[in-house]
Structure 1
Amino acid sequence: MKWLKRKQNEPPKISLDQQRAEKLAELGAQLWTARQEKGLSLEEMVAMTKIPRRLLQAIEAGNLQDLPEPIYIQGLVRQFADALGFKGTEFASHFPVDSQPINSQSVGQTKSIGLLRPIHLYVLYIFVIICSVSSLSQLLNNADLRGDNQDAPLPIDQETIVNSQHTQPQQSNKIQPVSDRLSSDKRNQSVQIGVTLKASSWIRVIADGKTEFEGTLPEGTHRVWKAQEQLTVKTTNAGGVLMSVNQQAAKEMGEPGQEEEVKIAAAKP
């Protein structure tokens, strides 16, 4: 009976994927905060790291499903951290990667194999990983460039036909949603906010009519929310909340101790 009680009181085990997701969210929040403090945009980070913008966004937002294999994620985090002044190798080592399965051999045989492995094999292994991450980053960056090249000017005849059908392309690009507080991302037609707490504050976040969070967040917390149509953020301490809309520079929501509510709508297609 005592053994059963101990088993029941044991905390549930967290899967490796959950550990990766939690650790990526933690590391991404630190990188986002450091970038904001240095006043660097994502475009500047792309130029510094040679990592595509969408991967940098996924790292900051902790979106594990938008990133490649864990071993490559660790390399991308290392490059991102190096560019922001962190010790990249040490910083990225906190992100868990797949552990190699252990063959069904005796303990004595396993230890012997480990002792006989030369140190240069470890150096070669690290070198191969670094080269693989660099190659993947270059390939992804080239894919982005090829996608951008698809928007190149059409030949004269085709361009004339398109312009005759759409007489006001410039005016349509200048239309902006609702107010100067509303921002948009025309490529994904969604809206994203990130909040960083300068002081402990009560916050309520509503995404597309559904309450995603309501409660008090401690100082230093960084959270990210997304919505397809509209996000509403309300706080009772506007001066203690830094808010960033669609990866733009973070700004205070208002004055300290002031109640403030902000609605951010996604861009219309």
Structure 2
Amino acid sequence: MSELREIGEILKTKRLEKNISISDVQEFTKIKSYYIKAIEDGEEDKLPDPVYIRGFIRSYAEMLGLNGEVLLQDLKLNKTREYNVSAMIKEKSKVNTDIRRSTKKIGRYIAIVIIIGLFIYGFYSLGNFLGVKIDGHNNSIVDNNISAEIDIGSVDKKPKDKPTTDKSNQSVNLGDLNAPTAKTEIKQMSKTADTAMYQVITDNDSYKLKIDIVGTRCWMDISVDGSSVYSGILTTGQSKELDIKSSSTVKIKLGKASDVAIYIDGQAVEKANVPGIYWYVFTK
């Protein structure tokens, strides 16, 4: 068995153990599903240059919580065959050349437009300047007309009466201040290597679920009562907030749990320092 096929089987087995689909891997790693399957099947001829293969394996392993560097130690790839990446590089060079040519043309057009604009501006500026010199004796008339239109005496200098506040009509409902604040309690029901299950107890009809990215990035899938409500990648500083009915069951699948902090009504949930896939389940 080739080293690549052996690595592929390790990755595939781990993926299936964690109930992760190839689509999930593609979403998190941005590796095309075609290449993911080729890695799992050990089909080197369907993969690009070795440097890309190693990068793919490293990212894939990291998502699963495995050490990619250890997996790659004994990997030997065929460096004599031609890889598809050469054609990709040629195509990219052609595209870059076309872009440079288009940019030069656009630059020329912009320069011409600027020159024409400056010429028109100069022409009108010169015309305005000459008009002021010729009709300069009319300026005083215009100024007088403007001054005449301003009636300083018409300005009402009397300060407006400040609205009075009738304090007798103001009242404080002490009953509202003394009303008990609804409390939310989080109880851990069980915990395994890749799943933590919690019970959310609240007096309210709903609670607020907040997910913060405290690391670099994390792919996640959130489902409520079996229906997916969000699937995507959040990066540093981003967060996701949801209002959850207290009777609902929430399942959160994280691609890199160590980069995530979860809060229920402002209360921090125990952080999972797991580099790979991890599940959080919240139920009533």
TM-score class, shorter: 0.3 to 0.5
Q: TM-score, normalised by structure 2?
A: 0.33
More strand by share: 2
**Greater Cα radius of gyration, structure 1 or 2:** 2
